[in-house]
Amino acid sequence: MNISEAIRTRRSIGKVTQEDIPVAKIEQILEAGTWAPNHRMTEPWRFFVLRGEGRKVLGKALSDVARASASDPESPEAAAAAESAKMKPMRAPVIITVAVSPKEHEKVIELEEYGAVYAAIQNMLLEAHGLGLGAIWRTGEPAYHAKMNEHLGLGTNDKVLGFIYLGVPLEGQQLHVKRKPFQDLTVWIDEEGPVGKQKQE
């Protein structure tokens, strides 16, 4: 699979089997993340690989976040939400939690550290696709909650930027997705200034 094909055929796949993923493939995906561009070579990404019983660490974190976010943490509704959240990591055999750990230096722009880790996640998704695995990048408020940092041992300036759920794809999923034509979202600027959304030859 060449780069163009990988970019155009990758899709978010949330339904996977519980078949074990070889460690070598997981390591290949992790290494792909480390080749993302990062300004000043700060390498701000951090990875947590959750497999088997290890997934319960994320389940406990999600459960605690659900309770903490409820208007009444002791209510039956909060308990039900916490229990539901606890089971979410069991949807895939492997979850790679990806976090950013911004380097504290006067010349480092924090937003660029986030950009580097987002690029790392895209590398990882493409690598997983190239290996024939299904992957989906999940985010949301629980990822950014302070309790998530506590459970993963992250610092106060660190932030979880997503959970990559990995597995062997289940068959029969609808993977046809449309994208807006780039022409509708592009302005060409040359020596004569902006020439509109479609380049004039």
Q: Which residues are annotated as a binding site?
A: 10-12, 39, 137-139
Cα–Cα distance for residue pair 111/125, rounded to 1 Å? 21
* Contact present, 29 and 125 (Cβ < 8 Å): no
Give the angle 152-154-156 at the CA atoms, nearest 5°: 135
- Known binding-site residue numbers for FMN: 10-12, 39, 137-139
**List of long-range contacts for 20-29, beta carbons under 8 Å, 24+ apart:** 20/93, 21/51, 21/93, 21/94, 21/133, 21/166, 21/167, 21/168, 25/131, 25/133, 26/94, 26/96, 26/166, 28/127, 28/131, 29/96, 29/124, 29/127, 29/128, 29/131, 29/164, 29/166
Q: Determine if residue 52 is left, alpha or beta; phi over 0 gives left, psi from -120 to 50 gives alpha, anything else beta.
A: left
